[in-house]
Each structure stands twice: as C-alpha cells, then as structure tokens.
Amino acid sequence: MKLSVRNLAEYMECFDTVLNWIYEEWGHNNREFWSGWIKSSLSEHDIPQTYVVFYRSELVGTFSLWRCDLQSRQDLFPWLGGIVVEKKWRGQGIGLFIQNEAKKVLKNLGYRKAYLFTEMTGYYEKTGWLYIETGFDERNEAVRLYELNV
C-alpha cells in the first residue's frame, strides 16, 4: 500500500477532519481544547507538529509529535500522540507505518527517544516500544507509558 505523510500545516483543508477524529477518540465535551491543541501543533520546523496520512489522495490517518502529552510526566519529551487511523482503514498496517514515519521525523529533528502512553497492552511492545511504567492521566486513570529509541 502506497501511503504518504504530510505536515498538517501544509494541508489545512484536513484540519476539521483531524479535529473530528481526535475529538471522537479523546474528547470529553472539550472540543475547543482539542482545536487549540492541534492549532498549536502546526509547526513545520520543530515539535509540536501534526501530520496527516494519505492513501493516494484519501486522508486515512493522523499523528502528532508533542512536547507534552501526559501532563503528569513533564520530564519526558517528545511524545508521539494523537494517532488515529480512520475506522475503515484499521487493521491494514497504517499504525505501524505511522510509527515508522514518526521515528524518521524525530531522528531528522535530532531526537534520540520518544514516549507515548496508552491503555492498550501488547500492541506497542510488538513494534519496538519498551514499557517503562504505569502512569496516571488527568482523569486519574491508569495508563501504560512507553519509550522508543529512534
């Protein structure tokens, strides 16, 4: 499958779709919060950045590289977050593609590690991430923290 990645700052026509996806996944009656979060991630030169993933000309996914994703862990940086693959495209390797592309971007920007958190168990271990500990998000829910050498 031929996928491509572009910086959202160059494809603002995709902004509303990305916002809708992220809000559907993590929104808790805070749409403006997520809109601001994405708007602040439109850098083309350093983190924070948000990317869009295309199959041919169809938008199929998004991901971001952030300065902070898990507020309780300000000591960890940078974060891979906001990974969303449109439902009809899930299970086709796009998540792995996103991780590999994020790794390339981070390496090009001079970063040597990346972090993410999730409630999922088993997926990220298969793709090279190392589970480092359990943390807690802003709703006091336990989440799994991962680290990746890039």
CA–CA distance, 46 with 43 (Å, rounded to integer) = 6
pLDDT by 10s per residue, the chain, length 150? 899 999 999 999 999 999 999 999 988 788 999 999 999 999 988 999 999 999 999 999 999 999 999 999 999 999 999 999 999 999 999 999 999 999 999 999 999 999 999 999 999 999 999 999 999 988 899 999 999 999
Query: Which DSSP string corresponds to 99-131?
Result: HHHHHHHHHHTT--EEEEEES--SHHHHTT-EE
CATH classification number, 3-149, choose in 3.40.50.720, 3.40.630.30, 3.40.50.800, 3.40.50.1980: 3.40.630.30
Phi, psi dihedral angles at 73 (to 5 degrees): -125, 65
Q: Where are the domains of the chain?
A: 3-149
Strand order of the β-sheet with 3-7 is 3-7, 49-55, 58-66, 79-85, 113-118, 142-149, 130-136
Do the Cβ atoms of 148 and 128 come closer than 8 Å?
yes
pLDDT for position 29 = 82
Total-model pTM: 0.94
CA–CA distance, 125 with 23 (Å, rounded to integer) = 26
